[in-house]
Structure 1
C-alpha cells in the first residue's frame, strides 16, 4: 500500500471507525446492555474490519498488476498467495 495515499487514508478511516465501534461494544457489555444490541454493534465492527482488509488486498492486487514486471525490486505475489489473503478475510 506504499504510495497510494488515498487507499491508505480510506483504510485508516475504516480502522478508526472500527476502533470507535469496538470501544462502544466494550462499554455496552460493561453496562450490561441487551445481547441483541451488543451483537448488532459487534457485527458492524466485524464488517468494518473486513472492508479494511478487502481494501488492503484490493490495493495490493492493483499494485501487483501495475508492477507486473517486478522491475522495482518487489516480488510479485503468486495466485496461491493472493488466494490465501482473500481466504484469510472470509
Structure 2
C-alpha cells in the first residue's frame, strides 16, 4: 500500500488512505441517488422516496465525517510542526474544515 501524500499547498495533491474508501462510498451514494431520481420520475410513494433520500444523506454525511476525521488524524502533526515554525496556515486550515462538522 502506498503512503498517503501530505502537502499543504493550495492546488496540490492531498490524499490519505481513507480517500479510496470515501470514493467508493460516494460512488455508491451517487448510484443510489440516480435510482431515487428514477423513483420520483416513476411516481413512487413519497414515503419510499424520503426513506431512500435519508439513506443517501446518511452515506454522504458519513463520507464527510470520515474525510474530516482522517484529515485531522493525519495532518495534526504537520500542523503542530508548522505552528512551531511560526506558520499559522495549517491551524487556519483546521479552523476552516471544522466548520463542516
Q: TM-score normalized by structure 1?
A: 0.78
Which of 19, 36, 40 lines up with 2:47 in the alignment?
A: 36
Structure 1 residue 69 corresponds to structure 2 residue 84: no
Equivalent position SS for 1:54: helix
With a CA cutoff of 8 Å and minimum separation of 6, indicate the structure with the bigger relative contact order: 1
Structure 1 residue 22 corresponds to structure 2 residue 33: yes
Unaligned runs of 5+ in 2: 1-5, 7-13
Asked if the contact 1:18/1:48 (under 8 Å) is kept, the reply is yes
Counterpart-to-counterpart distance in 1, 2:23 and 2:88: 24
Aligned-residue Cα RMSD (Å) equals 2.3
Counterpart-to-counterpart distance in 2, 1:13 and 1:75: 31
Q: Max radius of gyration: which structure?
A: 2
Q: CA deviation at 1:62?
A: 1.0
Aligned length in residues? 84
Unaligned runs of 5+ in 1: none
